[in-house]
A = this chain, B = another copy of it.
């Protein structure tokens, strides 16, 4: 019984490592099996194919990710602090599933998840747009796009940094200060232009 689970588990771990290192397209099932200590046929007992084992690797974090996704869309952020709370929760989640998140976002080319990163960025951008519009009548969409991306990649950098959970959350909060101040600076510069 232990052995059964072990093989599947070994395959999943070997696959996770291979997807993370090479990406979906360049991952090799032969290599995955070899590192798991089994033959190719064994993989096909547990999984339907390459895409199936990929999904098995990311399915659990993905489901949670999508739940967070939805909440992000449906929440009305009244101020920066309301956002910060959601942010912390998200950060903690991302850290717990670091590898899988990296795979979904950066190593999923060739799967149906390859558009996930862009979709998430777009969602974040919509949130930021709603927020910007509270302070500016007609904010530049391109600017919002870039600022959103910066914040997103800030998270990602923290994620990739190999920090402990609390450390990472702290870092994210400091980044929040940076971003909020940056945002305020933008408002000031722009309304200043309009006013003066």
Please list the residues of chain A having a beta carbon within 8 angstroms of any beta carbon in chain B.
23, 25-26, 109, 140, 142-143, 145-147, 149-151, 153-154, 157-158, 161, 163, 167, 171, 174-175, 177-186, 188-189
Contact = CB atoms under 8 A, between A and B. Distances in A.
B185 A184 contact: yes
Given A142-B161, A175-B147, A185 B181 contact: yes
Nearest to A26: B25
A146 B157 contact: yes
B142 A163 contact: yes
Q: How would you classify the secondary structure of chain A's contact residues: helix, strand, loop or mixed?
A: helix
Give the interface centre of A153, A154, A163, A181 by most chain B CB atoms within 10 Å: A181
A179 B151 CA distance: 11
Given A180-B185, A185-B182, A149 B157 contact: yes
A147 B174 CA distance: 10
Contacts of A163: 142
Given A179-B182, A182-B181, A183-B178, A150 B143 contact: no
Contacts of A161: 142, 145-146
A130 B177 CA distance: 21
Given A178-B182, A178-B185, A178-B186, A146 B154 contact: yes
